[in-house]
Amino acid sequence: MFEAIAQFWSGLVAWTSAYVVVPVLSFLHVDRLMGDPNDIAAAVLIAFLQLAIISCIFRPLETFAPAEAWTDRKLTRIDRSFTLLMVLGLNPLFAFLVLTPFANFFGGGADVGASAEPSGGLLSFVPGIDAHPYLAFFLYYIVYDLTYYWMHRAQHAIPWWWALHSMHHSQRQMNCWTNDRGSYLDGVMQSLVLASAGLLMGVDAAQFALLELVSELVQNFSHTNTRIGFGRIFERVFVGPIFHRLHHMRVDPSRPNLHNCNFGQVLSVWDNLFGTALYGEPPRPTGVGDPTVDADNGRGVIAMQWGALRRFWGAVRSVEGWKLQEVAFEDKTFKPIPVSHVDLHAFDPHPLEAATERTSAA
């Protein structure tokens, strides 16, 4: 059965490469820049598979087993636009137009798709690793996910990086499309950090692109508005919707540090290991307490990007923007304000939280 699936997949990739990818690359005159057409074809097919899984599996879960019940899904529509832009356009473009030349320049193989074996780097120092490409990939993934964990903590701790990343957290209705809601500058920075980890380990750009896409799918599930999780045992290893929803909770003025938790991407092991795991809390309203960031909910794709850049520019020019701390942003200058100087109780709850409070009171 598995051999039949593998053969079908290989044939589908070959057909897509020959009749779709190669003609398009030739027409655009970028065939020499983009690497192996088979890798691009595989990435495109995985992207469509990802969209199908989100639409046909994750989205129905939000209807039949929601973590939060919404009267409408108005705020979720913009996230779907972000996902379509990222999955069908920006992710493949960046992975193959930017990362492939980047890898080749720093010593990666010229033929990106030639092998699944490590191409130098730290993995080459592991005895016999060339004969075990799957082990090499597993070791790389551990490093990849650990790198993401610490990078994610930096996104919350460094004010100028939070200025960008906060756009992802501004969503009041976190849903199966929310994973790709984010600043494009933040996305470039993330990809460069994670790609550098891959190059350091010695994994080729094709594997990195595949890993990015597969990890995206896992993250789409963890952002899904559903109460379905991995259970008491496996949630200690893998990041699921219940676990990750707590990471997106809106700040609680009575417990102001509660939301600084659950930073893992796919593995929750790191949160448990480094003391940032939070379990057992009921679902809470998602979003941010900062009105300047919360205003993203009334904007379109371009306006949200511009708002994040304005916050970034206000933070990067400020001394406070370089101190490790949690901040809010001024309404007009976008300069960061330490939350220790802000009365969190002064922020009016957004409509979803107000509705939740009224329901609880009733």
pLDDT in tens, 125-148: 677 666 666 777 778 888 889 999
Q: What is the pLDDT of residue 87?
A: 74
Name which residue leads in pLDDT, 158 or 49: 158
Average pLDDT for residues 239-263, to the nearest whole number? 93
Contact, 246 vs 281, CB < 8 A? yes
pLDDT band (50, 70, 90) for residue 116? very low
Query: Mind listing the pLDDT tens digit for each residue in 289-337?
Result: 999 999 999 999 999 999 999 999 999 999 999 999 999 999 889 999 9
pTM recorded for the entire structure: 0.82
Q: Is the model's pLDDT at 106 over the cut of 60?
A: no
β-strand partners of 336: 329
Q: What is the pLDDT of residue 160?
A: 98
Which tokens belong to 342? Answer: 């802000």
Q: What is the Cα–Cα distance from 271 to 123, expressed in whole angstroms?
A: 25
Q: What is the pLDDT of residue 52?
A: 92
Query: Mind listing the pLDDT tens digit for each residue in 51-100?
Result: 999 999 999 999 999 999 999 999 999 999 999 887 776 555 555 555 55
Average pLDDT for residues 31-42, to the nearest whole number? 71
Contact, 174 vs 245, CB < 8 A? yes
Q: What is the Cα–Cα distance from 167 to 292, expressed in whole angstroms?
A: 10
Phi and psi torsions of 254, nearest 5°: -80, -20
Report percent pLDDT > 70 for the chain: 77
Q: What is the pLDDT of residue 195?
A: 76
Q: What is the Cα–Cα distance from 313 to 308, expressed in whole angstroms?
A: 9
Q: Is the model's pLDDT at 168 over the cut of 80?
A: yes
Q: What is the Cα–Cα distance from 54 to 219, expressed in whole angstroms?
A: 11
Q: What is the Cα–Cα distance from 142 to 103, expressed in whole angstroms?
A: 20
Place of tokens 């550098």: 196
Q: What is the pLDDT of residue 111?
A: 41
pLDDT band (50, 70, 90) for residue 358? very low
Sign of CA dihedral 200, 204, 209, 214: negative
Q: What is the pLDDT of residue 114?
A: 38
